[in-house]
Chains A and B, each alone.
Chain A
Amino acid sequence: MRRIGIWIAVGGLLLSTAACGGGSGGGSGTGGTPKAQSLSVGFVAEPANLDFTSTEGAAIPQALLVNVYEGLVKLDQDGKIVPLLAEKWDVSADRRTYTFTLRPGVTFSSGAPFTADDVVFSLDRVRTDWKLKIKTQLDVVDKVEKKDDATVVVTLKRPSNGFLYAMATRLGAMFSRTGVADLPNKPVGTGPYVLGEWRRGDSLRLDANPSYWGTKPALSSVTLKYFKDATAMNNALLTGGIDVISSVQAPESLQQFADPGRFQVIEGTTNGEVVLSMNNGRPPFSDKSVRQAVRHAIDHKALLDTAWAGRGQLIGSMTPPTDPWYEDRTGDYPYDPAKAKELLGGKTYTVKMRIPNLPYAVASAQVVKSQLAQVGVTADIEPLEFPARWLDQVFTKGDYDLSIINHVEPRDMGIFADKSYYFRYDNPEFGKLLAAADEGTEQEQTDDLKQAAKLLSDDAAADWLFLFPNLIVAKKGVTGLPQNAIAESFDFTALAKQ
């Protein structure tokens, strides 16, 4: 009883304190005054630094691309490539020469004008200074030349459909020749926002760029607040500490936001295929029929319902629905435990399932384990700390039988073409289809990639559990949120508050 008394007494104290501080609101974005045109958005991963040319991590382009750095082109919400710093571009008949016409009157946040020289500088820099392997996506570029101040000509070694797409990613970000001295701390771009204040471990504030060339953002600032704990992020939205949860980490927590008078839930798609990877390089999964048995043994609908509250989409191969060559391949291996047992030929196996200690992987692994057990495959789950231990054991050394990871990179079917990649999948036919797709016309690209996705599925190179959903929760009245998360950036340009 006494203890309850203490709690009540303490409560009274706190409430009176709260009353004293009343009216000041809970931090940024909650005040009702007309000039409080700022928003704060909760994220789970904080950038290690601000240099995405030499540091891995989705958090950096998520915050800076399109918002601070702009490219010549960008991806729209349907996955289409649209103009940004280039007004238009022409492709030569042999599809090897791209002529970009630059938008006039664009300046960097440092005040320097954006010209053809900066385009040449930025694209050359990818080859000379970038540290990440993705830079090889621009290896197809033969030369970049300035024709005049507003025109740049890019010549490719061979026709490539991947080139323009890569230009819409961070690889195509435009840097100022005088603005790369301190990339980890001082980004200089042409975008609608500039870096305001970065409180390491807490938040990153982007302020509206007063001299932006395009439509100025409706908000004076956007604060990205970082939470390592999903519950803490949910609480922050419930208590007005933030206005938006950029990506819900536990779909079952959505019921807290069920009141439409206060919150809105936005569900869209991502590029994230949650893959049950099977080590094609060693027994038992070097045997195609064992892999096929696994695909038949898993009830994907039940898995999605149990592990991820039914949010997300079943896909069946390595392609999200926003890619032009998407086909629903979920019918290739319908749930059929009897067929699975038949494919296993009465044999039983014990395998190592080494998964990252991430919520979706842990939840999915439980279901996979119990479903595999029904056909005679015992999967021992071993959670590994992500990223360090998972990268080391599974990704680098390939020491695993089964794993589960969300492959978030866009248009990443090509990882199956690399037989040293941790899937250890080796089918030369697949590589040929991919190469042909890149060089072919748009129609040929679509046809070849459909073929490639079908081949992966037929070969049971892996099993695709589900497509990761894009789940955003926001306060009522917040508009301009991107429904689909298919680009690398979290686009703040249309964000507004009513």
Chain B
Amino acid sequence: MTLYLVRRLAVLVASTAVAGVVVFAFMALLPGDPAEIALGVNATPEAVAELRARFGTDRPPAAQFLDWFGGLAQGDFGTSYVSSAPIGPQISDRLGVTAVLVLGGMAVALAVAVPLGTYAAVHHRDPLGAAISALSQVGIAVPAFLAGILLVFVFAVRAQALPSGGYVPLAEDPVEWLRSLLLPWLSLGLVQGAVLTRYVRSAVLDVMREDYLRTARAKGRGRTGALWRHGLRNASIPVVTVLGLQLATLLIGAVVVERVFVIPGLGDLLLNGVAGRDLLLVQGVVMVLVAAVLLINFVVDVAYRLLDPRLR
């Protein structure tokens, strides 16, 4: 297990470095000069040249890359071209908001998927179980932003029960914080929940057909009891894998949902950065997102081993 961990960590570090090169190269391909955009249509050529020198964008790409990546390794994300503020604190502020959004969305997804998926598997011959299965198929087809727009229309505009957008920090007002997050959580979580429901259902179905479950039932346990005692742990293995993949999807979904709900998270920061060609900022955000996805994969792999003794 230790050797496995070390190997897996090495892969994690190496893939992060490769990602850094790719991210940097893509940014270099984006059309538009950051200095020209920062100064706009009314800039003097001298001012543009001066700003390029200040940003360091007049240097060869290799030097710029080494500077940036070297800084990253020491936790320094550099200074924004556009706002002249350090990037690291901006990202960590926004990361907190996005993390709350994604984790809440995941919680909603699990709360929907585990009971519904299990029920649909156990009762897969009943009309209700079949209906859950069919409806989750419909849910998969709904993008998170559309769910968001619908939720806003129903609960904010029509019912006037919840705010249509905006974010109130927890420290400022816990009740408003919760109210501002409910709809975003639901729009992320319900759609992901629909996807997850199908996985839970098929995983539980598979487990129900296993010999050990039949043995357990032969020894006198009921169908549900056998499932609780022996089945769910095994059924959770494929689900955990999917969960990891879904966390990554949720992160991307959050980028869009943040725009719909006017939440100042990483996605909002990213889109602003792209529009203003604040390249260092965009590179920083993308790297954080990439690192998050790689880290999630790492955690999933390790969790997989812990759940399934046969792999150890």
Contact = CB atoms under 8 A, between A and B. Distances in A.
B217 interface: no
A196 interface: no
B139 interface: yes
B164 A235 contact: yes
Given A2-B135, A202-B264, A229-B259, A241 B42 contact: no
Interface stretch (B17-25, B63-71, B148-156, B222-230): B148-156
B37 A387 contact: yes
B264 A241 contact: no
A128 B35 CA distance: 19
Nearest to A46: B272
A2 B166 contact: no
B189 to A, nearest CB: 10
A480 to B, nearest CB: 24
Nearest to B39: A56
A132 B43 contact: yes
Contacts of A227: 165, 262
B84 A241 contact: no
A201 interface: yes
A131 B264 CA distance: 30
Nearest to A182: B84
Interface string A197-208: 001111000000
Interface stretch (B174-182, B243-251, B287-295): B174-182
A184 B84 contact: yes
Contacts of A454: none
A249 to B, nearest CB: 14
B270 to A, nearest CB: 11
A18 B94 contact: no
Interface string A1-31: 1110010001100110110110010110000
Given A48-B82, A132-B47, A201-B94, A17 B156 contact: no
B84 to A, nearest CB: 5
Given A26-B163, A388-B37, A389-B31, A133 B94 contact: no
Interface in A223-252: 225-229, 231-232, 235-236, 238-241
Nearest to B133: A2
A17 B186 CA distance: 14
Given A11-B154, A131-B43, A232-B260, A392 B31 contact: yes
Contacts of A254: none
A391 interface: yes
A57 B42 CA distance: 10
Contact of B182 (A17, A132, A232, A391): A17
Contacts of A338: none
Contacts of B84: 49, 184
B165 A241 contact: yes
A241 B164 contact: yes
A150 B158 CA distance: 58
A226 B275 CA distance: 15
A56 B94 contact: no
B161 A18 contact: yes
Contacts of A185: 85
B42 A56 contact: yes
Interface in A167-214: 184-185, 199-202
A134 interface: yes
A14 B182 contact: yes
Nearest to B265: A201
B283 to A, nearest CB: 16
A396 interface: yes
A156 B181 CA distance: 58
A1 B138 CA distance: 12
A100 to B, nearest CB: 26
Contacts of A236: 164-166, 262
A55 interface: yes
A24 B176 contact: yes
Contact of B179 (A2, A17, A131, A133): A17
Contact of B160 (A132, A228, A239): A239
B269 interface: yes
A227 to B, nearest CB: 6
A303 B243 CA distance: 51
Contacts of A396: 36
Contact of A11 (B50, B155, B261): B155
Interface in A404-419: none
A257 interface: no
A201 B175 CA distance: 22
A395 B39 contact: no
B264 A56 contact: no
A11 B155 CA distance: 8
B82 A49 contact: yes
A490 to B, nearest CB: 19
Interface in B31-51: 31-33, 36-44, 47, 50-51
Contacts of B138: 3
A26 B139 CA distance: 30
Q: Which of B40, B51, B262 has the most CB of A within 10 A?
A: B262
Contact of A14 (B39, B40, B161): B161
Contact of B163 (A201, A239, A391): A239
B297 interface: no
Nearest to A55: B38
A15 B161 contact: yes
A6 B191 CA distance: 13
Contact of B159 (A15, A21, A55, A56): A15
Given A48-B276, A201-B272, A391 B164 contact: no
Given A2-B135, A14-B161, A17-B178, 16 more contacts: A2-B132, A3-B138, A10-B190, A14-B155, A21-B175, A48-B83, A54-B47, A133-B44, A200-B83, A225-B166, A227-B165, A228-B259, A236-B164, A236-B165, A392-B31, A393-B31
17 contacts: A3-B139, A10-B190, A11-B154, A14-B182, A17-B178, A21-B175, A48-B82, A54-B39, A134-B42, A185-B85, A200-B83, A201-B269, A201-B272, A227-B262, A228-B259, A238-B156, A392-B33
Interface of A: 1-3, 6, 10-11, 14-15, 17-18, 20-21, 24, 26-27, 46, 48-49, 54-57, 131-136, 184-185, 199-202, 225-229, 231-232, 235-236, 238-241, 385, 387-389, 391-393, 395-396
